[in-house]
């Protein structure tokens, strides 16, 4: 049914979770202010979230494997090594993969991976594996046949009869063809070719409009990190009111939120780590807009102190902080399949509990930064402002 929502400015926390998992777990231990090593064993509900709108629902892992890194710019991906790595992630319980039609071979790799799962793993294992993809069309006329043709391409590449989730992006809000596209996608969902319809990089105003037009989207994928808290200023309240969940990316800022960049000075040539990937370059610009490298170093030092206290890494703290925000269903960590792995750090997120002291110390630093809603605009505006 259409949803009517007005003036969205506040936030209220809830995150309904669901059961089921790839392996048995035990409850996580609540961490106080003393130094405690985190166990990576957690309850099933803490690992999973159900994205839901009306009769449509999809249960995913709250930490998603982002596959933008397969598109080039992060190192050469070997197909066999990449698929082997996907199996290791899934075997560890990290069985939700996020990709897009334009992420190089990502959808094809998933197709190879899912066939290996079908051959090499028991049937119940397959039920826990989820493949989320995106469609990013040019802003042309959205006819039923055009939408169907493009969705069929993803279904073929991923070798699935029905896409677990199709996340839709639209470049130009002045062209309201996005509503036509979403209605056609909803028709394909009713035919069984898509299980759930979702969005990526839509702002609060357009999300509200889409819901009011009766489109049953279950989530909106947006940029969200300790530095970029824009989703909490408007979007999260609408999500809380409607049940739509946020899936976040850029949560570790391409790796900037890590020990690798702690106590580094990027103003001196060759003195620090190179910003040699598209994601590092992108999120360094975000740091510059937020408050600059010196303030960012203060944030990294604070996060390192918290990470040491809990026996985890800076990226683990970064993702846990965002997962604890209102409206957030899951957070993405980019995976360089076959080149580097962060399975242990990713699984440690589920058992980490940030206490009040941790949160306050982070906010003492972040409040010194600029309001990126004023600098950039609402969610997704970074892709639409010239």
The per-residue pLDDT for 27 is: 35
Residue 33 scores a pLDDT above 70: no
Of 349, 302, 340, which is closest to residue 64 (Cα–Cα)?
A: 349
56 bridge partner residues: 53
- Read off the tokens for 279: 């994601």
Q: Which residues of 355-381 are buried (b: 16+ CB within 10 A; e: fewer)?
A: eeebeeebeebbeebeebbeebebbbb
3 state DSSP class of 256: coil
Is residue 133 within 8 A of residue 167, CB to CB? The reply is yes
pLDDT, greater one: 22 or 374: 374
pLDDT, greater one: 31 or 368: 368
| Residue 131: pLDDT band with limits 50, 70, 90 | very high
Across 333-346, average pLDDT:
91
The per-residue pLDDT for 42 is: 53
Sequence-ordered strand ranges (E) for 205-275? 217-223, 245-249
User: pTM here?
Assistant: 0.87
Give phi and psi for 131, each to the nearest 5. Answer: -120, 110
The per-residue pLDDT for 386 is: 45
First-residue to last-residue Cα distance in the chain: 36
Residue 216 scores a pLDDT above 70: yes
The per-residue pLDDT for 385 is: 66
Residue 38 scores a pLDDT above 70: no
Non-local (6+) Cβ contacts of 292 within 8 A are: none
The per-residue pLDDT for 384 is: 81
Residue 174 scores a pLDDT above 80: yes
The per-residue pLDDT for 43 is: 61
Across 275-292, average pLDDT:
93
Nearest-angstrom CA–CA distance, 38 and 311:
6
- Read off the tokens for 41: 């064993």
Please state, for a pLDDT cut of 90, what percent of the chain lies above it.
Answer: 78
Is residue 42 within 8 A of residue 25, CB to CB? The reply is yes
How many other CB atoms sit within 10 Å of the CB of residue 45? Answer: 17
| Residue 80: pLDDT band with limits 50, 70, 90 | very high
DSSP letter assigned to residue 349: G
């Amino acid at each position: 049914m259409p949803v009517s929502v007005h003036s969205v400015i506040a936030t209220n926390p809830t995150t309904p979770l669901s059961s089921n998992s790839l392996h048995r777990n035990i409850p996580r231990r609540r961490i106080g202010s003393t130094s405690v090593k985190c166990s990576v064993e957690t309850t099933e509900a803490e690992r999973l979230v159900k994205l839901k709108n009306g009769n449509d629902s999809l249960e995913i892992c709250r930490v998603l494997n982002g596959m933008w890194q397969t598109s080039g710019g992060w190192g050469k991906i070997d197909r066999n090594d990449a698929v082997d790595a996907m199996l290791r992630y899934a075997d560890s319980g990290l069985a939700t993969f996020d990709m897009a039609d334009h992420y190089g071979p990502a959808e094809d790799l998933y197709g190879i991976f899912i066939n290996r799962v079908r051959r090499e793993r028991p049937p119940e294992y397959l039920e826990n594996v989820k493949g989320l993809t995106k469609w990013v069309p040019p802003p042309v006329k959205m006819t039923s046949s055009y939408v169907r043709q493009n969705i069929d391409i993803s279904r073929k590449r991923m070798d699935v009869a029905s896409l677990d989730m199709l996340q839709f992006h639209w470049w130009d809000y002045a062209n309201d063809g996005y509503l036509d596209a979403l209605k056609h996608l909803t028709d394909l969902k009713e035919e069984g070719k898509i299980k759930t319809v979702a969005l990526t990089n839509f702002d609060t105003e357009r999300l509200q409009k889409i819901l009011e037009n009766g489109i049953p989207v279950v989530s909106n994928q947006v940029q969200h990190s300790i530095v970029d808290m824009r989703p909490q200023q408007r979007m999260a309240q609408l999500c809380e009111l409607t049940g739509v969940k946020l899936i976040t990316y850029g949560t570790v800022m391409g790796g900037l939120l890590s020990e690798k960049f702690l106590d580094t000075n990027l103003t001196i040539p060759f003195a620090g780590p190179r910003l040699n990937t598209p994601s590092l370059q992108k999120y360094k610009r975000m740091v510059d807009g937020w408050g600059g490298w010196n303030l960012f170093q203060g944030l990294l030092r604070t996060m390192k102190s918290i990470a040491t206290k809990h026996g985890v890494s800076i990226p683990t703290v970064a993702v846990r902080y965002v997962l604890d925000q209102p409206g957030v269903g899951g957070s993405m960590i980019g995976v360089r399949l076959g080149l580097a792995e962060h399975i242990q750090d990713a699984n440690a997120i589920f058992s980490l509990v940030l206490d009040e002291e941790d949160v306050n110390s982070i906010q003492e630093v972040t409040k010194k930064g600029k309001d990126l809603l004023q600098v950039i605009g609402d969610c997704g505006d970074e892709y639409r402002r010239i």
